[in-house]
Structure 1
Amino acid sequence: MRLLNKRAIVTGAGSGIGAAISCHFAKQGAKVAVVDINLEKAEVVANKICVDGGEAVPFYADVSNSDDVANAFAGAEMAFSGLEIIVNCAGINQKLTACTEVSEETFDRMFNVNVKSLYFTTLHGVPILAKYERCAIVNIGSVGGIRPRAGMAWYGASKAAVNAYSAALALELAPQRIRVNSIAPVRTDTPMVWYMVDGETVEKRAKMDSEIPLGRIGHVDDIAQAAVYLASDEASFVTGQTLAVDGGRLLL
Structure 2
Amino acid sequence: MDFKSTSYIIMGGTTGMGLTAAKALKANGANVLVVGRNPDNCKKAEKVLGQGGLSISGDATVPETIKTAIQMANNAFGGITGLFHVAGGSGRKWGDGPLDQMTLDGWNKTLELNLTSLMLSNQAMIRYFLEHEKEGIILNMGSVLGFSPSPKYFVTHAYAAAKSAIIGFSKSIAAYYAQHNIRVNVIAPSLFITPMAKRAAEDREILQFLKTKQPLDGGRAGESEDIDNAVLMFLHPDSKFITGQVLSVDGGWTLSEGQYI
TM-score where L is the length of structure 2? 0.88
Matched, 1:238 2:242: yes
Q: Please report how far the alpha carbon of residue 77 of structure 1 lies from its aligned counterpart in structure 2 after TM superposition.
A: 1.4
Q: What residue ranges of structure 2 are gaps of 5+ in the alignment? A: 257-261
Q: Tell me, yes or no, if the aligned pair for 1:89 and 1:139 is still in contact at 8 Å.
A: yes
Residues of 2 paired with 1:142 and 1:37: CA distance? 21
Q: Please report how far the alpha carbon of residue 34 of structure 1 lies from its aligned counterpart in structure 2 after TM superposition.
A: 0.8
Q: Which moved more, 1:9-18 or 1:146-155?
A: 146-155
Residues of 1 paired with 2:2 and 2:139: CA distance? 16
Residues of 1 paired with 2:3 and 2:73: CA distance? 17
Identity %: 27
Secondary structure of 2:23's counterpart equals helix
Residues of 1 paired with 2:21 and 2:5: CA distance? 16
Residues of 1 paired with 2:193 and 2:244: CA distance? 27
Residues of 1 paired with 2:212 and 2:49: CA distance? 34
Matched, 1:166 2:137: no
Q: Which moved more, 1:98-107 or 1:220-229?
A: 98-107
For residue 182 of structure 2, what is the aligned residue in structure 1? 178
Q: Please report how far the alpha carbon of residue 42 of structure 1 lies from its aligned counterpart in structure 2 after TM superposition.
A: 1.8
Residues of 2 paired with 1:251 and 1:206: CA distance? 17
**Mapping 1:43-192, distance limit 5 Å:** 43-50=43-50, 54-95=51-92, 97-130=97-130, 131=132, 133-150=134-151, 151-192=155-196
Q: Please report how far the alpha carbon of residue 133 of structure 1 lies from its aligned counterpart in structure 2 after TM superposition.
A: 4.2
Residues of 2 paired with 1:127 and 1:173: CA distance? 11
Residues of 2 paired with 1:134 and 1:3: CA distance? 16
TM-score where L is the length of structure 1? 0.91
Secondary structure of 2:35's counterpart equals strand
Computed over aligned residues only, the root mean square deviation of the Cα atoms, in angstroms, reads 1.8
Paired positions, count: 247
For residue 211 of structure 1, what is the aligned residue in structure 2? 213
Q: Please report how far the alpha carbon of residue 146 of structure 1 lies from its aligned counterpart in structure 2 after TM superposition.
A: 1.5
Residues of 2 paired with 1:40 and 1:76: CA distance? 20
Letter in 1 for 2:228: A
Residues of 2 paired with 1:107 and 1:101: CA distance? 11
Q: Tell me, yes or no, if the aligned pair for 2:106 and 2:158 is still in contact at 8 Å.
A: no
